[in-house]
Amino acid sequence: MPPSVVDTSPSDWRYVSEGGATIVFSYNGPPNPNFNGTVLRLRKALVPALRTVTREGTVQTRANNEEPDDPTIEYQTKCMSRLIPPEHLPRLETVHLDEPWLERLVAQQNLRRPETRRETDGIDVDRQKGVLATDLVGGDWLAVEIKPKWGFVPSPKHLSAATKDAKTQTCRFCMHNHLRKSKGHIIEMSYCPLDLFSGDEARITKAIHGLWDAWTESGGSVNNLKIFANGKIVHPTEPHRMLARDAKPDTPIREIRDLFTSALLRILTATPVLRILSELQRSLDVLDIEGLSRLWRRTERTAPSYRTTFASFFEHTKGDGVEKPPSTPLGVSSLFLSEPQPDIEDWEEFLDTYLSPFRDGLDNSKPAPENLRYYLLAYLLSATFKDCSLIARLDFLKPGVEQEVKVGPQTVTVIDLDPKSMEKLREWEKLDKEIATFYSTNTEKKTCVDAFAS
């Protein structure tokens, strides 16, 4: 029987952080074997739509239908554990909720959330179930959260003439950083994911230094690096909180950075996580979104009803070679091409194919329309690994003492592995074009070296 969170007081839970879909609270109450060392992940709902049905209707629905477990749990169990070793995944289990308890939690904790978040969404108090997970940041240690981003440079095979030079010279992260900096959204960053994924200690050190420098210069607002000490976030103005209790409080910041870099480097190189993520990203995104978009349009045009529907268009434009027949945006189902959002069975079936000899037999230089669904799901899964985060557990830093490397469960854990939506594809296609087109005008292009480019 899954534990019930209503057996605890809402005041036993402390707000930690949130993303677009979930809010996280850590257990901070009296000793309880069900909840010690855990965090509670709760689903969110838009503020105007916290009640999508009447209260009476909600009660009736719940009386007749048991709410399924959070899809995160099923997805990790049936899919992610096939790609990432279980020791590098967090423990996840279902926990029971009820509306009065959630409403008390909102009343006590909502003001701890960022104001901008409170204006748009909040805890979905209609939920009957939440997710209980390992508290990866809340113990007596340093927890370092890294969002590595894209770890490869695309093959030129499917790139357009307008984007090929930029995309094969500079990685996606660095190009995007250039665009965001031009809009005033972010500081300039020296961090390049290809250094972090390179497997070379000198380059990984350079990457960690880049993450640290962006962290300090942005006041901690850049989300590629977060540091927690004893469960509380460390701000760049207080790096001494990373030191062991017996360390000198006047340790220079430069020395703290070097200690931090050395410890994190040894942890990252002692586990296979970065290598696994790099290979998954690369092998799942073999067409780039440009090649995927062309395959989408080509597949749609082979539909029997497509040329019939647009017969007059083809007759009108025949021979001019300029205008193109209309097409549905990438990922959007139409009368000619239906690609629904994948469910758990679709993901299981996809992984059966991806992990079989079928993948090695694909001619990715000439993708076939009959394999469109495979390439779409592969790209979505690649996007998950491009946007996930790592949490590395370190001992507190001791100046003058070489850090011990302790590799075990939760030494490095991969989080934020929720599946992506088919609806995001056209948004990503638009952003990709904007990033590459803008970067193509840059007269001083950065060269990013992909250590594993074929």
**Residue matched to tokens 């409080």:** 249
CA-to-CA dists, residue 355 to 274, 280, 346, angstroms: 19, 11, 14
317 within domain boundaries: no
307 within domain boundaries: no
Confidence (pTM): 0.87
**Hey, what are 72's tokens?**
């995160």
Going by pLDDT thresholds of 50, 70 and 90, the confidence category of residue 410 is confident
Of residues 403 and 138, more confidence is placed in 138
Q: Residues 222, 186: contact at Cβ < 8 Å?
A: yes
Closest C-alpha among 63, 45, 31 to residue 102: 45
Mean of pLDDT over the chain: 90
**What's the average model confidence in pLDDT over 70-82?**
92
**Residue matched to tokens 């879909």:** 21
Residues 9 and 45 in one domain: yes
Rounded Cα distance between 136 and 227, Å, is 12
Residues 58 and 162 in one domain: no
Residue-wise pLDDT tens digits, 430-445: 999 999 999 999 888 9
DSSP 4: B
For 372, the enclosing helix (H) or strand (E) is helix 372-387
Domain count of the chain? 2
For 299, left (φ over 0), alpha (ψ -120 to 50), or beta? alpha
Going by pLDDT thresholds of 50, 70 and 90, the confidence category of residue 454 is confident
Residues 122 and 221 in one domain: no
Q: Residues 28, 120: contact at Cβ < 8 Å?
A: no
Angle between helices 344-354 and 372-387 (to 10 degrees): 100
Burial bucket for residue 190 (CB in 10 Å: 0-12, 13-18, 19+): middle
Residues 131 and 151 in one domain: no
Q: Residues 373, 358: contact at Cβ < 8 Å?
A: no
Based on DSSP, count helices (H) and strands (E) in the chain, helices before strands: 17, 11
315 within domain boundaries: no
Model pLDDT, residue 215: 96
Rounded Cα distance between 413 and 85, Å, is 10
**What's the average model confidence in pLDDT over 43-57?**
59
Model pLDDT, residue 314: 63
308 within domain boundaries: no
Listed range (303-307, 336-340, 402-406) with the worst mean pLDDT: 402-406
187 within domain boundaries: yes
Going by pLDDT thresholds of 50, 70 and 90, the confidence category of residue 229 is very high
Rounded Cα distance between 427 and 410, Å, is 34
Rounded Cα distance between 186 and 212, Å, is 15
Going by pLDDT thresholds of 50, 70 and 90, the confidence category of residue 331 is very high
Of 94, 113, 135, the residue that ends a domain is 135
Residue-wise pLDDT tens digits, 378-402: 999 999 999 999 999 999 999 988 7
Task: List the domain range (segments joined by +) for residue 123.
Answer: 5-135
Of residues 231 and 226, more confidence is placed in 226
Model pLDDT, residue 231: 86
CATH value at residue 74: 3.30.200.110
Of 101, 135, 169, the residue that ends a domain is 135
Residues 40 and 118 in one domain: yes
Model pLDDT, residue 315: 65
Residues 162 and 108 in one domain: no
Residue 353 CB contacts under 8 Å (≥ 6 apart), including other chains:
359, 374
**What's the average model confidence in pLDDT over 94-104?**
93
pLDDT higher than threshold 90 for residue 404:
no
**What's the average model confidence in pLDDT over 275-301?**
96
Single-letter code of the amino acid located at 319: G
Rounded Cα distance between 86 and 406, Å, is 18
**Hey, what are 211's tokens?**
């993450």
Residues 99 and 214 in one domain: no
pLDDT higher than threshold 90 for residue 54:
no
Of 135, 163, 185, the residue that ends a domain is 135
Of residues 231 and 201, more confidence is placed in 201
Q: Residue 112 CA to chain centroid, in angstroms? A: 24
Q: Residues 41, 133: contact at Cβ < 8 Å?
A: yes
Q: Residues 198, 449: contact at Cβ < 8 Å?
A: yes
Model pLDDT, residue 283: 97
Residue-wise pLDDT tens digits, 182-223: 988 778 899 999 999 999 999 999 999 999 999 999 999 888
Rounded Cα distance between 192 and 250, Å, is 31
Residues 163 and 248 in one domain: yes
Model pLDDT, residue 319: 53
302 within domain boundaries: no
435 within domain boundaries: yes
Model pLDDT, residue 56: 41
Residues 128 and 198 in one domain: no
Closest C-alpha among 37, 17, 27, 8 to residue 112: 17
Residues 29 and 95 in one domain: yes
394 within domain boundaries: yes
Model pLDDT, residue 303: 86
Residues 110 and 169 in one domain: no
Residue-wise pLDDT tens digits, 158-175: 999 999 999 999 999 999
- Phi and psi at residue 66, in whole multiples of 5°? -75, 130
pLDDT higher than threshold 70 for residue 55:
no
Model pLDDT, residue 318: 53
**What's the average model confidence in pLDDT over 366-379?**
97
CA-to-CA dists, residue 313 to 306, 309, 385, angstroms: 11, 9, 41
Q: Residues 29, 41: contact at Cβ < 8 Å?
A: no
Residue-wise pLDDT tens digits, 3-32: 789 999 999 999 988 888 899 999 999 999
Going by pLDDT thresholds of 50, 70 and 90, the confidence category of residue 48 is low
Model pLDDT, residue 254: 95
Going by pLDDT thresholds of 50, 70 and 90, the confidence category of residue 134 is confident
Rounded Cα distance between 279 and 294, Å, is 24
**What's the average model confidence in pLDDT over 131-144?**
90
Percentage of residues in the chain having pLDDT higher than 90:
71
Q: Residues 415, 90: contact at Cβ < 8 Å?
A: yes
Going by pLDDT thresholds of 50, 70 and 90, the confidence category of residue 279 is very high
- Phi and psi at residue 142, in whole multiples of 5°? -90, 130
Model pLDDT, residue 18: 87
Residues 166 and 249 in one domain: yes
